[in-house]
Amino acid sequence: MEPSNNELVSVVIPTKNSAAFLENCLKSIADQTYPNVEVVVVDSGSTDSTEKVSACYGARYYTYAPVLPSGTFDAPHKRNYGAKQAVGDYIYIVDSDMELMPNVVKDAVELCNKGYDAVVIPEDSFGIGIWARAKNLERRCYWGDATVEAPRFVKKHIWDRLGGLDETVGGNDDWDFYQKLLDNGSRVGRTRSIVRHNEGYLKLSKLFRKRFMYGRDVAKYIAKRPGAAAMSYFPVRKSYLNHWRLFLARPVDTAAFIVMRTTEYLGGLSGIVYSLTMSKRA
């Protein structure tokens, strides 16, 4: 079934000093084969040219900086805010470092027209350096892994009915929303088209800090969804074993992958310990 081109898709992009990646992201949205798309950029006080780049591509630009404790992952707050401003029939949550293949939106709308309520869009990545190659290896292992992939494209009325994202679980917001969809009997499809993350020049220190930030909210997610959390956080995944040939074909990247994942787990664990320590002091 061909998608109806008069259904509006609202692409929501949270930003903060994202100009270096945002232009390619917005260009990939402008190049979509599906014509009826609006872009909602929600920015939390950029000091670069994020607003100017957004204007060049006709995006609706909002400034929204929620008052949160220092170091809090604020993307779920901005995503929910953007969804409230959106007027489309669908919400599609995109990060500023993502670049969409031309048929991503068309394929997602088509699946929704076939009866799906939300859609997983597989993610790949590219960048500079060994850690970017390791991240590429990791993402390719996750294609089809329901414990990692999560739907970011959803019918607006379903999004509204489920109350959007849980802002208290930080970087686990997309996994939690997936569980909410399943709890409510929603059908989730998956496109063949992919999005690609532009990792830039990726450093281990950046990955550690990111996982530390996520780790600060992990305890909340575990308490809310212990079963799903156990599957998501277990270090030895079935998807790794299923892609053993890929690891054998890329031995240098595999070694870097092991170091990278160890670093990320240490970052997440440090975030958990920090969060528990601060809660005891409160």
pLDDT in tens, 155-174: 999 999 999 999 999 889 99
- pLDDT at residue 280 tops 90: no
68-79 residue pLDDT tens: 887 788 999 999
Answer yes or no: is 100 within a domain: yes
Answer yes or no: is 189 within a domain: yes
Q: Judging by beta carbons within 10 Å of its beta carbon (0-12, 13-18, 19+), is residue 163 exposed, middle or buried?
A: exposed
Split into its structural domains, the chain has a count of 1
Residue span of the structural domain in which 50 resides: 9-281
pLDDT reported for residue 91: 98
Between 1 and 280, the more confident residue is 280
pLDDT reported for residue 233: 82
CA dihedral angle for residue 45, residue 49, residue 51, residue 56, rounded to 10 degrees? -170
3-56 residue pLDDT tens: 566 899 999 999 999 999 999 999 999 999 999 999 999 999 999 999 999 999
Answer yes or no: is 175 within a domain: yes
Answer yes or no: is 125 within a domain: yes
% of the chain exceeding 70 in pLDDT: 98
Answer yes or no: is 222 within a domain: yes
Answer yes or no: is 18 within a domain: yes
92-122 residue pLDDT tens: 999 999 999 999 999 999 999 999 999 999 9
Q: Please report, for the domain that includes residue 152, its CATH number.
A: 3.90.550.10
Answer yes or no: is 19 within a domain: yes
* Amino acid in position 92: Y
pLDDT reported for residue 3: 53
Answer yes or no: is 4 within a domain: no
